[in-house]
Amino acid sequence: MATFPLPLGELLGHWGSYVVYLLVGFAFGYVLEIAGFGNSKKLAAQFYFKEMTVIKVMFGAIIVAMVLIFLASGVGLLDYNLVYVNPTYLWPGIVGGLIMGVGFIIGGFCPGTSLVAAATLKLDGIFFVLGVFFGIFLFGETVGGFSEYWNSSYMGRFTLPEWLGLSTGTVVLLVVLMALFMFWGSEKLEQYFGGMDAAKEPKWRIGAGGGLALAAVGLIIIGQPTTLDRWNRIADEKTAALEERTVQVHPAEMLEKLHDDSLKVIMLDVRSEADYNQFHILDAQHVLPEELPEMVPALHLEPANTVFFVMSNDETAATEAWKTLQAESVPNVYILEGGINNWLTLFANDEFLAANPRTPHADDQLAFAFPVALGARQFPAEPDPHHYEFIYESKVILELKRAPVSGGCG
């Protein structure tokens, strides 16, 4: 079963995907225009509680999209890992929101609605857009002076369920109920300050609100897929790759990739802390297997040329880690063939073997006796690729990166 979002570039080609972007952009602008969002007076009226259309439309869009996104994720139609969520920079975000809010009140537009107004040749919209461009230029010229603050209080992909410690469905229901209460309150404000007639409001809005609330309750029942659920959906295809050994990479190939300036290589060492401290490859990150799901959002934000290698003493723990990352849609993940034991066997010299003899070992246990824990200060931690010649089948292929890409404000 196909999972959304679809890779448009792969399905439609470069120009075909741009046609879709153009159609979506046109539809979005059209909806904003017919909703009256190209009129600065209508937009500014919300700050005087005379007409709350902006809040109704924007929050209506938010809760409808939210419910549909998580329902689609719950039934397996959508891979939420591939949906972009703005990373949280707490204090810069708060200050930026206040600045934008003041600009909205003064100018009567937000960036998206100003473009709608400019497209229909409204002079205030055109001047607002020019102001936006000037502000972008001014920011670009001055951000170096406050870049430390600009990048401060980084919290990653931080969401309400994480903050509140509640399930996704519960949070969705609470947000829907909050929005419905805001809609009711907005109508009361419109009646009091704007003289609106409640009898003229469409009756279907009550049924729509109730339907969203019921869908949110259904979302609590359905829940969100676990890592195991996601793995089960792709198990047949990915197990075949494991059995055909198309993802187990020879140590010499990994060493070659480590010295390839066109790639960013991230090594994830999932062994115990004790084994990692005994010996690990230079720059390998120690990660406990249970910590991997928490790292997934950050791994998705790595650049498109990133290749991930997971490793354990042999391959058992690394294979389980690979399954987790595959289930969470992390691209370009490979397993170090034979693990650290194979790496040491291939790159160790006589002096190293004399000091750290190979010993009998159980599956996925360290095969060398290290009298001292030196970590990456051991000789085989950083071998020179020019000193070795191995014949191996190259397996690393930089796949199309189906990871979240940034969006913008409407």
Q: What is the pLDDT of residue 402?
A: 53
Q: What DSSP string runs through 356-367? A: S-B----TTS--
CA angle 25, 28, 30 (to 5 degrees): 105
Task: Please give the backbone phi and psi of residue 332, each rounded to the nearest 5 degrees, phi first.
Answer: 60, 50
Task: Please give the backbone phi and psi of residue 193, each rounded to the nearest 5 degrees, phi first.
Answer: -95, -30
Instruction: Supply 290's token pair.
Output: 């249970």
How far is Cα 330 from Cα 350, in angstroms, rounded to an integer? 39
Residue 18 CA: distances (Å) to CA of 25, 181, 293, 308? 10, 39, 33, 30
Tens digits of pLDDT across the chain (410 residues)? 446 677 777 788 888 889 999 999 999 899 889 888 999 988 888 888 998 988 888 899 999 999 999 999 999 889 898 888 888 999 999 999 999 889 888 888 988 899 999 999 999 999 999 999 999 999 999 999 999 999 999 988 889 999 999 999 999 999 999 999 999 999 999 999 988 887 888 888 999 999 999 999 999 999 999 999 999 999 999 999 999 999 999 999 999 999 999 999 999 999 999 999 999 999 999 999 999 998 998 898 899 899 999 999 999 999 999 999 999 999 999 999 999 999 999 998 888 888 888 888 889 999 998 888 999 998 899 998 888 888 989 999 987 655 555 555 54
> With a threshold of 0.75, does the pTM exceed it?
yes
β strands within 115-159, DSSP E: 154-156
Is the bond into 289 cis (omega within 30 degrees of 0)? no
Instruction: Supply 110's token pair.
Output: 């937000």
Percent of the chain that is helix, strand, coil (3-state, to 5) = 60, 5, 35
- Contact residues for 261 (Cβ-Cβ < 8 A; gap 6+): none
Name the CATH superfamily, with its identifier, for domain 228-387.
Rhodanese-like domain (3.40.250.10)
- Check residue 86 and report its DSSP letter: P
Instruction: Supply 203's token pair.
Output: 């009756």
Helix (H) or strand (E) holding 310: strand 306-311
**Residue found under tokens 């998705």:** 300
Instruction: Supply 224's token pair.
Output: 């969100």
- Of the candidates 271, 80, 228, the one whose C-alpha atom is nearest the C-alpha of residue 159 is 80
* Contact assessment for residue 258 and residue 250, using Cβ atoms and an 8 Å cutoff: no
- Contact residues for 348 (Cβ-Cβ < 8 A; gap 6+): 356, 379, 380
Instruction: Supply 336's token pair.
Output: 């170090």
How far is Cα 7 from Cα 13, in angstroms, rounded to an integer? 10
β strands within 124-241, DSSP E: 154-156
Residue 80 CA: distances (Å) to CA of 33, 105, 195, 224, 408? 30, 34, 43, 10, 18
Instruction: Supply 196's token pair.
Output: 């609106």
Longest dimension (CA), the chain: 90
Domain ranges in the chain? 8-226, 228-387
* Contact assessment for residue 336 and residue 271, using Cβ atoms and an 8 Å cutoff: no
